[in-house]
Structure 1
Amino acid sequence: MELHSVKLRLQEHLSDGMVTVVGSGLSCAEGLPGMGELANYLLTNIGSNLEEDDSTAWKEIGRLILSKGLEAALLAMPPTPALETAISSATAELISERERSVISEVFSGKRKLRLTRLLSHLVKPPSGLTIVTTNYDRLVEIAAEEADLGADTMFTGRFAGQLNENESRMSFCRGITMKPRRAASLQFRHRAIVCKPHGSLDWYARNGRPVFYAGELTGVSRLIITPGHNKFRNGYESPFDHHRSKANEAIDRASRFLVLGYGFNDDHLETHLSPSIRAGKPTLMLTHSLSAVARDFAFKFPRVIALEHAQKSGVTGTNAIIEQQEFFFPNIAIWDVDSFVTEVLEP
């Protein structure tokens, strides 16, 4: 297949009715830590202040992390409540520290996020462009605002903001149109509806309720679902349940998917996303390395296109799976969102 034909197909995919799914791969591309770096950070920074029983459990988990990886270890040996709190705190600490560096560069104009460039080329439906992300960081929200979109996370208020989907939606209303003998029509600003079923660095627990606060707080629990068995994952508490439901509703309504750096390893989303792909909804995947599940989808279902980094005979390029066939395109990195925009959308 010729590269020109591939580019045309990629352009045609970015049409109306699309839901975008963003995984950790996109944040890693911007410099945030991946699972391996997070595992090393946890091993280095957890342990000194633990009680004896928790310390013993952590040592055993640590051995599993070294042999199986972070997620597999925490699934094999669920942490105690104290360990879970320590893991959540350390995870948020590392990600927020790295996130600050990225945001500072965006704010000063030294960096433009990959997603910001991409969003400028996507269709913006009046009802909002849905982005589902399993990431805790705020790069999706920042990318949306930098692309002149509103970022609707379903929270309202700047200090201890409340989860209120309708009030959040109405905050983006910019006018009303009255027509004779017709119902009033509300005019909304273009916005991205950001669904975060694993939580966010700016979600905190206050008096037993979830609240939004964009700043850094000490001594307060952030609401994030860390890898492995987690009390929020088991309980489906708010705001996770609401964001998960909105994400799955959008996935069910979608006519197509754009999947960026996501490995199809989240049990909550997979109850809706994977069946939709199997049912034949067109899907475009961009990632550095396809997970086993993503690769299996690409080879089994002809309406899936998957792009990943590859190297052959010392030449780097893009490996593409299209119509269940594999193609290698040398000296081009259209698996990366930045290069995708440059090569496919801004040729």
Structure 2
Amino acid sequence: MPDLNYQKQAQEFYGKVPVIIMGSGASAAHGMSGMGRLAQHLVAHTDVSDLSVSELEVWEKFCQLLCDRVDLESALHQVTASEELTSRIVKATWALINSEDIKIFQKSLQDNAMFSLSRLLEHMFRSNLKKINIITTNYDRLAEYACDQGRIHHYTGFTHGFFRQLASPTEITSVRRVNIWKVHGSLDWFQSPLEDTVALSNIQEIPDNYQPQIVTPGTQKYQKTHLEPFRSIINNADLAISEAGSYLCIGYGFNDEHIQPKLMLKCLRQKTPVTIITYALSDSAKRLILEGNAQNYLAIERGETDDQSIVYSSLDKAPITVEMNIWSLEGYLSLII
């Protein structure tokens, strides 16, 4: 076991009913593509037929940036894609992530212990807690699948059913509920021909005249998130962040301007505890949390092997190396359950 202080700190932070913040690392643990693989997929599979000469020039510049090893987000910021080209990039992104998401869903049908998140949520609900908030930058539905496996109702901003329409949080009631605030959209959200946003359950292809409502990195991200349903979702995520007793960040890189400012304000001004578990701490996480002025933090990343963890804590200036896996969600659960 690690030094008792770290386990005690993990339990103390967990006892403050954390808001769960999930980033791409939480999905990567299940084999979902990260930005690198997505970039390769976009170059190979984006439909660029019938684009104008100027659009093709932008596309070629974008591909060149990726070939020069510029990361996907920076590359999308460095080009000004037309609405049509952006739409094609969104569709290619959707096709890759959706196919991976559905494979994970199929796999989960054979393995009812697949999601560590299910165990975490079930444990949190063993108290008199009625509501848990998850905030995620991911498009996939792994959090929803984890809720389903744990027989837990979830709400993502829509009514229930196969053709789901926007609904306020008070419209859907249940004794216990997980709110999943998807600040960059979801694979099952689409703009309909009526130009409203609807959610369509478990479909394999984009229906005719429907547009996926996922926000890809780049300049379009800022315009789109000022519109519904993103504005309401981000507003609810902000509310969850400001009311939280603590934060549990799973595979989250601290690189998102929709979540960061309020989260850091709480950690710095109000000393709200934050726990980070991840494969590798991002430069942003190190800068904002470890080297910043956060007072109450516990950050755990993978060491040299899966069975080694490096623990950074506000209790101690020097990190310690622990010969066990406590950096993954499954490993972290061994500290608190």
Normalising by the residue count of structure 1, what TM-score does the alignment of the two structures yield? 0.88
Return the alpha-carbon distance in structure 1 between the equivalents of residues 239 and 180 of structure 2. Answer: 13
Contact 1:155-1:168 at 8 Å conserved across structures: no
Q: 1:235 to 1:299 in 2, by over 3 A?
A: closer
**Residue in 2 aligned with 1:288?**
279
Partner AA of 2:60 in structure 1: K
Return the alpha-carbon distance in structure 2 between the equivalents of residues 141 and 47 of structure 1. Answer: 30
Give 5+ residue unaligned stretches, structure 2: none
Aligned-residue offset at 1:266: 1.2
Contact 2:131-2:179 at 8 Å conserved across structures: yes
Contact 2:306-2:325 at 8 Å conserved across structures: no
Return the alpha-carbon distance in structure 2 between the equivalents of residues 148 and 201 of structure 1. Answer: 22
Return the alpha-carbon distance in structure 2 between the equivalents of residues 144 and 197 of structure 1. Answer: 18
Return the alpha-carbon distance in structure 2 between the equivalents of residues 199 and 234 of structure 1. Answer: 10
Aligned-residue offset at 1:94: 0.5
**Residue in 2 aligned with 1:29?**
29
Return the alpha-carbon distance in structure 2 between the equivalents of residues 89 and 243 of structure 1. Answer: 22
1:41 aligns with 2:41: yes
Give 5+ residue unaligned stretches, structure 1: 173-187
Return the alpha-carbon distance in structure 2 between the equivalents of residues 125 and 253 of structure 1. Answer: 18
Contact 2:277-2:328 at 8 Å conserved across structures: yes
1:199 aligns with 2:185: yes
Aligned-residue offset at 1:112: 0.9
Query: SS in structure 2 opposite 1:165?
Result: coil
Worse overlay, 293-302 or 72-81: 293-302
**Residue in 2 aligned with 1:121?**
123
Return the alpha-carbon distance in structure 1 between the equivalents of residues 119 and 290 of structure 2. Answer: 26
What is the aligned residue count?
A: 326
Partner AA of 2:197 in structure 1: P
Return the alpha-carbon distance in structure 2 between the equivalents of residues 294 and 36 of structure 1. Answer: 20
Return the alpha-carbon distance in structure 2 between the equivalents of residues 106 and 112 of structure 1. Answer: 6
Return the alpha-carbon distance in structure 1 between the equivalents of residues 78 and 128 of structure 2. Answer: 43
1:53 aligns with 2:54: yes
RMSD: 2.1
**Residue in 1 aligned with 2:144?**
141
Contact 1:319-1:326 at 8 Å conserved across structures: no
Q: 1:233 to 1:277 in 2, by over 3 A?
A: farther
Question: Which one of the candidate residues 130, 135, 152 is aligned to 1:132?
Answer: 135
What are the residue-to-residue correspondences of 1:301-320 with 2, within 5 Å?
301-311=294-304, 317-320=308-311
Aligned-residue offset at 1:125: 5.8
What are the residue-to-residue correspondences of 1:70-149 with 2, within 5 Å?
70-109=72-111, 112-123=114-125, 126-149=129-152
- Structure 1 residue runs of 4 or more that deviate by more than 6 Å after TM superposition: none
Query: SS in structure 2 opposite 1:249?
Result: helix
Residue-by-residue CA offset, 1:218-275 (whole Å, 9 max, x unaligned): 3321111111111664451111111100000110111211111111111121231121
Return the alpha-carbon distance in structure 1 between the equivalents of residues 260 and 301 of structure 2. Answer: 21
Percent identity, please: 27
Partner AA of 2:181 in structure 1: C
What are the residue-to-residue correspondences of 1:255-266 with 2, within 5 Å?
255-266=245-256
Aligned-residue offset at 1:53: 2.2
**Residue in 2 aligned with 1:181?**
none
Aligned-residue offset at 1:315: 9.3
Return the alpha-carbon distance in structure 2 between the equivalents of residues 98 and 252 of structure 1. Answer: 33
**Residue in 1 aligned with 2:3?**
3
Aligned-residue offset at 1:320: 1.1
Return the alpha-carbon distance in structure 1 between the equivalents of residues 34 and 306 of structure 2. Answer: 26
Partner AA of 1:250 in structure 2: A
Normalising by the residue count of structure 2, what TM-score does the alignment of the two structures yield? 0.90
